[in-house]
Chains A and B, each alone.
Chain A
């Protein structure tokens, strides 16, 4: 495949992620913050987001499985996840966090359990999507092309 085709594929995929609401404008801002001084900025931020979220999800599952659920602890974790997901533009993850906090406030265990499932689902989805997007970017770069952020 030539560079042009790869760039088109990348663009199409990214557009779908925005259309489906998996990503929002914050992600565009991340891309624009990337410059010569930090050529891997997006990858760096998103990788940190993946790692931190994975840890938080693990802690949340542990906290939810306790016989006596401490909703304050859960709320603090979800608050953090809401903040970081909104910073990277992982819109659906952020939305789930909003619902999760509502259930937390109402001390609604069932609601929290459902939110937990949704969170895991949305997180693995955006992770998969972004990893694929980065793969496409790698392909463009190794074919001698550039990621056409400014062009868009």
Chain B
């Protein structure tokens, strides 16, 4: 791959006298694409966290799921509010975090959160909203229905890690 070569020059008596190693090094290719540092930040708190993700869009679901897995979470992904509620019903309280897309057809994230909070305390499981909306009052509405956090789309690894950690910290011991 580096187009290198290596050879040994023996002396007349057959002993190795010198060894030559040629390696072609690549100069830094002209800029433009600067990739984000690979590897997730250290998120020991998020390792093993059981998360259920509800998003009606397949592409977003795939990407968000992968982001959560990169952070070390165990993820169940569903595509509607109904599916989310039924998964919560059968799996009981085994999820620590519910990640809800607000904008879903039929039953949106706010409604799912309200239904969950009818039966469960404000911090178990923790509910975090996902939204593409830039509206300021979205957060107010999230709080009203008993959500604990908010992540703006498009979701970035660092942003998601930071908000999940904030939510967990804020609810320690509750």
CA distance A150 to B36 in the complex (A): 9
- Check B33–A84 contact: CB distance below 8 A: no
Central interface residue in B30, B34, B103, B154, by most chain A CB within 10 Å: B154
B35 touches A31 (CB 8 A): yes
Shortest beta-carbon distance, A149 to chain B, in Å?
Answer: 7
A10 to B139, CA, bound (A): 42
A38 at the interface (CB under 8 A from B): yes
The residue among B38, B63, B70 with the most chain A CB atoms within 10 A of its own CB is: B63
Q: Is the interface of A mostly helix, strand, loop or mixed?
A: helix
A8-B29, A32-B36 known; A83 vs B157 contact (CB < 8 Å): no
B residues near A15, Cβ cutoff 8 Å: 30, 32-33
Q: Which residue of B lies closest to A85 (CB)?
A: B59
Contact between A48 and B62, CB atoms less than 8 A apart: yes
Chain B residues whose C-beta falls within 8 Å of the C-beta of A2 in the assembled complex: 3
Q: Taking the complex as formed, is B89 at the interface, i.e. its CB lies under 8 A from any CB of chain A?
A: no
Q: A86 to chain B: which residues have CB within 8 Å?
A: 132, 153-154
Distance, CA A8 to CA B26, complexed state (A) = 10
Residues in B neighbouring A69, C-beta threshold 8 A: none
How many residues of B sit at the interface, in one of the four size bands?
A: 20 to 34
- The main secondary structure of chain B at its interface with chain A is loop
Residues in B with CB closer than 8 Å to A8 are 29
Q: Contact string, B155-174, partner A, CB cutoff 8 A, digits 1/0?
A: 11100000000000000000
Given contacts A11-B29, A76-B105, A80-B57, contact A32 B35 (CB under 8 A): yes
**On chain A, which size bracket covers the interface?**
35 or more
Known: A76-B105, A150-B38. A45 touches B63 (CB 8 A): yes
- Write the nearest CB–CB distance from A90 to chain B, whole angstroms: 10
Nearest chain A residue, comparing its CB with the CB of B131: A83
B67 contacts partner chain A, Cβ-Cβ < 8 Å: yes
Cα A44 to Cα B36 in complex, Å, equals 21
In the complex, chain B residues whose CB is within 8 Å of the CB of A30: 63
Which residue of A11, A29, A33, A80 is within 8 Å of B33 (Cβ)? A11
**Does A29 contact B156, Cβ atoms closer than 8 Å?**
yes
Q: In the complex the two chains form, is B29's CB within 8 Å of A28's CB? A: no
Residue A4 interfacial (CB < 8 Å): yes
Chain A residues whose C-beta falls within 8 Å of the C-beta of B153 in the assembled complex: 83, 86-87
A sample of 10 cross-chain residue pairs with beta-carbon separation below 8 angstroms, ordered by A number, consists of: A8-B29, A15-B30, A29-B156, A31-B35, A32-B38, A44-B62, A52-B57, A76-B105, A79-B103, A87-B155
